[in-house]
Amino acid sequence: MMPKVPAFPPNLDFTGHSILVTGANSGLGFASALHYLQLKASTLYLLVRSLEKGEQAKKELLADPLVQKNNPKADIHIYQVDLASLDSLRSFSKKFFNEVQALNVAVLNAGVGYFNYNPTIDKMESTFQVNYLSNAILTSYLVPILKQSALTTGRPSHLTIVSSMMQNRTSFGENTIPQSESVFDWFNDPKNMGVSRYGQSKILATAYANEAASRVDPAQVVVNSMCPGFVKTGFDVNSPGFIKYPMKILRSLLARSTEEGARAIVLATITGPEGSGKFFTDGAVTPPASFLLTSEGQKFQKRMWDETQERLRAVDLNLPVLEISN
């Protein structure tokens, strides 16, 4: 059995905070949004693929008895974005930053898991684009507004990428991608697709969060990643039957509730500056994939960062560049 996630600090209160959650209409995203509202978050931005499902989630969130009792004036805004589309990300960013001037917390929760090569409209492998590249793009878009909000409030803002301990269940290492080959090209080559792809994408997500954290003053923005644990969600919907149905049984017997998994997410977004660049599990700092702790892993992390920055410029020339913090 997994350890219990600690309860929230007794005086935790998000009054006056504006919070963004991706993948917010169901599962961990919805449960995280509910926690923030129950803890009196003033403004919530739900990022969803379907506006219809987003509006339904909004109704359900506002109908929650504890929200109605403690936070009846909560303001919820729905934004449509498909993380499997670069055009959708560009459209979202233009609309969001024309309308929003402050943001205190960003939870990049949305993710997918495919076992077969499934290209996006941008001709990239879906798990790589959604779980890694789109979170890298959102990080670059969101850090400046998080930083500005910190300067206004005098307290650190937070950006947390929801990763996974599955990064430890993969053989990904220093010899996986030859030095002569592009990281992006390797991940988007069908011959390299396999059952470890989800865990591989989460290694990249944690590595990117770590590298971004080194480029942002933690007194302004705390950047980290975390694992919510084995949770009762419908995440296995894209898995083949021989995996989907056994996982459904295992989740029903062993997995924690979405409430508890989401509690772990929220706890990762309330750390002090010392939590920046860390990986959290069950509400505590935990070592990430062992590969990332080696000298070769650190070299790969920087190589991946540099290549990603080149690709991001091609996505949007106006994307902010995160420089090394002093």
Catalytic residues: 198
Alpha-carbon gap, residue 145 to 275, rounded angstroms:
20
Count CA atoms closer than 13 A to 3's CA, side-chain side.
Answer: 9
CB 292 within 8 A of CB 207: yes
Element (H, E) at 281: strand 279-281
Residue 246 CA to residue 100 CA, distance in Å, equals 44
Percentages (nearest 5) of helix, strand, coil residues in the chain: 50, 15, 40
Residue 154, CA atoms < 13 Å, CB-side half-sphere: 0
DSSP reduced 3-state for 20: strand
What is the edge-to-edge ordering of all strands in the sheet holding 18-22? 75-80, 43-48, 18-22, 105-108, 157-162, 221-227, 279-281, 284-285
